Amino acid sequence: MKNSLVAGIVMITVLAGCSSVPERGGAKVVHVPGAQVDLGNTPMVKKTLYAQYNQWKNTRYQMGGLSRSGIDCSGFVHVTFKTKLGVVLPRSTEFQAQLGESVHKDQLRAGDLLFFKTGIKDRHVGIYLEDGKFLHASTSQGVTISELDESYWKSAYWKAKRLDI
């Protein structure tokens, strides 16, 4: 009985992935006064995102986490936009996916949000860098850079959103 309970809890945790962390307030963006990076300045956004990667690479994945000791995908996007780009996004993937304008995959630029369907209800989010690469907190690798053309991400790709703010 105890083993099946533990197995059930582990299965629920794995299946939950990075779908979302409940929050209040819905999908909205708040600016950090004096700290905002122009998201249209692609070279500056790329530089900022690569610097964030260098600070956070290999940080382990932790559902609900928001620190260097563990972070999930939507938390990493939330922290990156807040601390590096001066924009406070919602904490959950669900609300992040409601922001911005849709952008076609062949029109992506650094800073665009990428969304993936990783399960029946599970969603994953990352930040586009360049040349088909994106930055995210992976459940298996922690904070990492992956390629959109990798078979897993290619088949799970859902949509991209641009925050022109």
Residues known to be catalytic: 73, 124, 136
SS3 102: strand
Rounded CA-CA distance 119/130 in Å is 26
SS (H, E, C) 17-77: CCCCCCCCCCCCCEECCCCCCCCCCHHHHHHHHHHHHHHHCCCCECCCCEECCEECHHHHH
Q: Are 74 and 18 in contact (CB under 8 A)?
A: yes
